[in-house]
Amino acid sequence: MSPSRSDGRVQPARPGDPKRVGPYRIIGRLGTGGMGIVHAGLDSAGLRVAVKVIRAAQAEDPEFRARFRREVQLSARVQGPCLIPVLAADPDAESPWLATAYAPGLTLDQYITAHGALSGGILYAFATGTAQALAAIHAADVVHRDVKPQNVILTPSGPRVLDFGIAHAADGTSVTRTGVMTGTPGWISPEHYRTGTAGPEGDVFAWGILIAYAATGRLPFGTGAPDGVAYRVMSAAPDLDGLPEPLRATVEEALAKEPEARPAANEIAELCGVLLATQATQIVPSGTDPTPAGDLVASEWNVPTVDDPGWLSSTRSSRRVAGILAAAAVIGGLTGGALVFQSESRTPSSSSDRPHAGSAVAPTIDTPTADSASAGALAEAPEPSFVDSNEATLATWRAARRAKGEAEFETEAAIGHDVGLGVGEEYGYAGRYEVTFSQSRKEIYIAISGPTGPPHIVQTVAKDACLTLRMMGDIYEGLPYDEYVLVDNTTATAPAIVWEDNFRSNTNCATQAHERNTAGEEQVLDWQPTESGLTAAQIPSTDKDEIRVAADAVQQLFTEWNGNSRLFQDPRYISDDNTSIGFAPQEGVMYVWATKPEWNQAMRDEWGITAGALACRTVLAESRARKEWVYAQYAVAVLDGDDVQFLNWGSAGSCTK
């Protein structure tokens, strides 16, 4: 389902649009298509997603549901570069839906209309990336069948092939109706016109048209009446004037009339990768390994970012300023394409290794000066509770390299975006953040540049960065990093390491000592419950301990609140029909809620006190009993239709025995 979109920006939601779809909070629309509506959504961690919701008319058709279920299965098994991953789906929901990563940017046709045809390194990067995407699709035994400019987005980090709405399994199982020709006139292969069927070779043919169009802005078989276009596709030679000569031979092979004469997508990807390497301007020292094609695509890619206030306003509206931490506790992230914020210019050397036994790496020692002493407000921030025995130094920071490959480029963009939201000008600090990588040390460095800020800025950046990195680690399971290091570079002559932590082991992304206190110690609140956390808690748990704790606690709550009353019709009365306890693993919060819209505020306040006291005792007891218990916080709410009122929340250490 290709969304009808002007530029992929978030449009306001319309009356009747859902507020939530599955685990995602809907904040607007991205477009509409023949199958349904594409909504802009956020998950509990702020991850931006595109949620396709099927129209009611199609949802009532059993045949359509079967085809949509097949689409979900096909899409889920396709993994590879320059694709948009499927994150979740529910083909059996009342309104079936499919969620993918959000990819900002213009489609190829929109980009060419606005900026003209592609040329130079970006053209070769486009050819390589799209061929890699098709190779990954075909490797999963899937045929795309609708390769065209509207289904390729030019994101800031590379091209992205999307829309498997009419995809076809190579085993012959189709998502579309039997006997119905799929595809777009002018982008259909000769054999598809002749027989109505298409295999991977048809995708290769469409790829050839795509590259010719990208390079010239013209369709190689022209436009006009569909039958005239079909005749030229089957009988005429393509018009490839203006296509760079090195790329022309590959495109001509892809546009061969007979499918068996065309190269496979993986072969094209390799050929284009070689051509791309000749376009790369980077100088590679002798004896080093060749740069992977994916890295070359990223290095030659140069597409402007897309600033979409629709996402930013939604993300910022949920933020708060509390106590010393004048920033968010949870921030949004990106996958697929990402909004890239410019960072401070610095050219680190090649990646470094951890020192071997018997070798030494002399750390850089900066002697404090009057300037550094006065400019080191950030450097005075409290130390993180996690300190590795092989700590990062200014030397290891300077030896770190810039991002290479899709996962690192996306991680860099996500950090720059999310941290910028958390401590940007709206929150009184206009810093810049440069991200570099040391794969051998498994460290990601974030250098803070710009004006000198107050100490709490470090804690806020640390928390936002940790949350983002945990999310990126989930998206890119092979991301080879586990620590992140903050460098105060606000005074270029006196940089300092101000934070080092392990974002994988710090599951709650705690950045203050009291956040990691043992149960029973006094804790200061610097967090708030979230609707996304409540949504996660409403998903039934399969963990035996969580089920046991929730069952025991809710029965105790019934006893304390109802007493001996059996007046089931009493508005005060609570039961399994309207009261629940659940858990939000990502937040480490136990949620207690009652669906009682009839309660006035006095009743709600009483409920908050009673349920909060029991919830606090529950998480305290479990925290003391078992080290593996991860829920040290609780929240109490009342639900009233789509409205949620949080009444009481706290941590295990805030209640008495």
Residue 423: the pLDDT is 60
Name the percent of the chain lying above pLDDT 90. 29
Does position 356 have pLDDT exceeding 70, yes or no? no
H-helix segments, 489-590 = 531-537, 544-562
Instruction: Single out the residue in 516, 550, 568 at which a domain terminates.
Output: 516
The tens digit of pLDDT for each residue in 511-558 reads 643 343 333 333 344 578 888 889 888 887 777 888 889 988 998 998
Residues 270, 189 share a domain? yes
pLDDT tens for 199-228 read: 899 999 999 999 999 999 999 999 887 778
Bridging pattern class, strands 432-438 and 97-101: unpaired
**507 and 580 share one domain:** no
Position with higher pLDDT, 430 vs 270? 270
Quote the CA–CA distance of 375 and 319 in Å, as a whole number.
29
Is residue 43 included in any domain, yes or no? Answer: no
Is the confidence at residue 327, as pLDDT, over 90?
no
Amino acid at 344: E
- Token output for 105: 């940017």
Both 488 and 575 in one domain: the answer is no
Same domain, 264 and 130: yes
The string of pLDDT tens digits covering residues 415-443 is 888 777 656 544 456 778 899 999 999 99
Other residues' Cβ atoms within 10 Å of the Cβ of residue 165: 23
**Across 143-149, average pLDDT:** 89
Q: Is 80 left (phi over 0), alpha (psi -120 to 50) or beta?
A: left
Q: What is the pLDDT of residue 310?
A: 58
Q: What is the mean pLDDT of residues 21-28?
A: 91
Which of 470, 487, 516 is where one domain is finished?
516
Tell me the average pLDDT across 180-184.
Answer: 49
Q: Is residue 431 part of a domain?
A: yes
Check whether residue 598 and residue 645 sit in a common domain: yes
pLDDT at 635 over 90: yes
- Is the pLDDT at 296 greater than 60, yes or no? yes
490 and 569 co-located in one domain: no
pLDDT value, residue 104: 84
Q: Is the pLDDT of residue 87 over 50?
A: yes
- Examine residue 539 and state whether it is found in any structural domain, yes or no: yes
The answer on 218 and 329 residing in a single domain is no
478 and 562 in a single domain? The answer is no
- Establish if 332 belongs to a structural domain: yes
- Residue 598 sits in a domain whose CATH number is 3.30.70
- Give dist(CA 653, CA 616) in Å, integer: 8
Indicate whether 393 and 245 sit together in one domain: no
Model confidence band, residue 184 (pLDDT cutoffs 50, 70, 90): low
The reported pLDDT for the residue numbered 8 is 63
pLDDT at 471: 87
Q: Is the pLDDT of residue 286 over 70?
A: no
Q: How does the average pLDDT of the chain come out, rounded? A: 75
Q: Given this model, what pLDDT does residue 129 score?
A: 94
Whether 16 maps to a domain, the answer reads no
597 occurs within a structural domain: yes
Instruction: Tell whether 564 and 596 lie within a shared domain.
Output: yes
Q: Among the three residues 279, 302, 332, which one is the final residue of a domain in this structure?
A: 279
Spatial CA neighbour of 534 closest among 592, 467, 465, 472: 592
Q: Are residues 465 and 586 in the same domain?
A: no
Note whether residue 607 is domain-resident.
yes
Residue 58 lies in a domain: no
CB atoms within 10 A of CB 656: 8
The predicted-structure confidence for 468-485, as pLDDT tens digits, reads as follows 898 888 888 889 999 999
Structural domain of 168: 106-279
DSSP at 354: P
Instruction: Note the pTM of the prediction, 2 decimals.
Output: 0.49
Q: Which tops the pLDDT comparison, 454 or 247?
A: 247
d(CA 210, CA 229): 15
The Cα 29–Cα 146 span in angstroms is 23
Q: Are residues 339 and 386 in the same domain?
A: yes
Q: Write the pLDDT tens digit of every residue in 481-510.
A: 999 999 888 876 778 888 888 898 887 777
118: domain CATH number is 1.10.510.10
Total domains in the chain come to 3
pLDDT band at 458 (very low <50, low <70, confident <90, very high): confident
Summarize pLDDT for 588-613 with one digit per residue, the tens: 899 999 999 999 988 898 999 999 99
